[in-house]
Amino acid sequence: MRVFVTGAAGQLGSEMTRAFAGHDIIPGSRPDFDLTDERSVRRAIDAAEPDLIVHAAAYTDVDGCEREPERAYRVNALGTRFVAVTAHASGVPLVAVSTDYVFDGTKGEPYLEWDEPRPLSVYGRSKLAGEREALTLHDRSYVVRTSWVYSPQGRNFVRTMLRLAGERPTLTVVDDERGGPTLAADLADAIARLAERPVYGIYHFSNTGSCSRYELASRTIELAGLAASIVPVSTAEYLSRYPLPARRPADSTLRNVAGAALGIELPPWEDALRRCLQPSRR
């Protein structure tokens, strides 16, 4: 199988070669591939002649999206439109990766695939628009929502905590923002398994369970064997010190119902974090 991957240099895209071992991976990454240029998207995908498209590219800087809303919609919504239209014309399935930030975090329990999205930020609204582009324009689309993605490389919360713990004796982290940390490798494996089943629609893939940002930071520091102490604070207190442009959902934990029905479930988040930070103990 030939798999065209947008955002191939990112955290998730980088894991696709391993997850689709034995298949040909055709990367779509800047500067050769411009997601905001319809002709560029069409030329790249037509030349690749893929059997599957995994659309992992996105503008994921949540606060950056708030400052640059037009860019957010060009990349996350219009870019997904260009990929979906080309996938439809080529007759190949599309996996469009989305986010837990399409929800407002007020449900009080994990979100199902069928819960009504109510995004709080430009990032969440632009990603929701991308979901709708994919599902409306291509009848062979999977939308995979995920959350708090991290890996040993790239910019992510886990790596930020490790870096800061090496620079400061004490870190302040919010304890009332909850979600599901997701190891990019586990997400890539789940997507590869999903692509084998022509059961299109919305899926929630994140490592099982949930935690607060404070709990994730504390467990990260502990597993890494670092000495920094973590001080919990409320979101309100944190924002009074360090204002941020974008609102975050208080609890955006996702529940995997649709994928589990196909036998696709991700390991617990603490197990995934341990495998990431202590690879010798896998």
Token output for 217: 């930071």
- Which tokens go with 46? 């037509």
Residue partners of 83: CB distance under 8 A and separation at least 6: 6, 35, 41, 45, 53, 55, 94, 96, 134
Contact 62, 246 (CB under 8 A): yes
Give whole-number Cα distances, 85 to 27, 124, 140, 142, 279, in Å: 19, 22, 11, 14, 40
Identified catalytic residue from 123, 142, 200, 214: 123
* CA–CA dist 159, 151 (Å, integer): 8
Between the CA of residue 58 and those of 65, 126, 157, 266, what are the distances in Å?
A: 11, 10, 17, 23
In the annotation, is 123 catalytic?
yes
Q: Give one DSSP letter per residue of 239-281, joined into a string.
A: HHHS--SS---SB--B--SHHHHTT--PPBHHHHHHHHH-GGG
CA R_g for the chain = 18
**Contact criterion met (CB below 8 Å) for 113 and 167:** no
The token duo for 63 is: 């606060």
Please compute, for residue 163, the number of CA atoms within 13 A of its CA located in the half-sphere on the CB side: 9
* CA separation for the pair 195, 191 (Å, rounded): 6
The tokens describing 271, both together, are 């197990």
Active site residues: 123
